[in-house]
Amino acid sequence: MPEIAVFGEWDTANLGDRAIHESVLRFCAECGWDPVSYSIGALAPVTPRGTRAAGARRGTNAAFRVAPPLKRTLRALRQRRRIAALLQPLAHADAILVGGGQLLADRNLHFPQSLATIAWAARRLGKPLWCLGCGTEAEWSPRGESMIRGFLQACATLAVRDDETAARLGRALGLTARVELRQPGGVPRSDGKALRVLDRRS
């Protein structure tokens, strides 16, 4: 069974995020994939129950009690170091998936920095990168928009969670949206679950 690395907000106490995690695991299994979960914020492996895997490094919140600009700089350096440490386990995956959830959001560069490093890893390893069931919220800062654009442009498949997100990304990236029944990798689904798939304009 092919392996797929799935990144999302899996290591929180939020019941909604945990429900999304369970849905993603079930969706991947139905598609014939063996999912391995990673936290998009901590860039660390997590168990199917949403807890950090044994040996995964814990965040040091005290180190980030600094002014926002410095915090963003320190976090960017940390994310680069952590994604580099994940290259070996990610090399075993056949593809990398991000989603679902409101992950295409800026939030003081919290998600954009992670998305940028995941896109870098996918390019470095030559793995297809899929964005599945993600949504946007609020406005993007210029830097955040640049990082999110770079991530989306690196995606082989982009299927967002709602019409508003599809329209926003379509305007921002010059993409056209259509609703299709698909699995990751483009295999047609037969269970009536529609995904809003974005196509690059020729």
Number of domains in the chain: 1
Bridge partners (DSSP) listed for residue 160: 134, 196
pTM metric for this prediction: 0.82
Does 187 reside within a domain? no
Q: Is residue 185 part of a domain?
A: no
What is the CATH number for 86? 3.40.50
In a domain, 192, yes or no: no
**DSSP characters for 24-87?**
HHHHHHHTT-EEEEEETTTTEEB-TTSSBPTTPPPP-GGGG-S-HHHHHHHHHHHHHHHHHHHH
Q: pLDDT tens digits, residue range 52-84?
A: 554 555 554 554 455 678 888 999 999 999 999
Render pLDDT for 102-142 as a digit per residue (tens, 0 to 9). 999 998 899 999 999 999 999 999 999 999 989 998 889 99
The domain in which residue 136 lies consists of 3-174
CA-nearest of 109, 105, 107 to 72 is 109
91's enclosing H/E stretch is: helix 68-91
Backbone φ and ψ for 140, nearest 5 degrees, come out as -100, 140
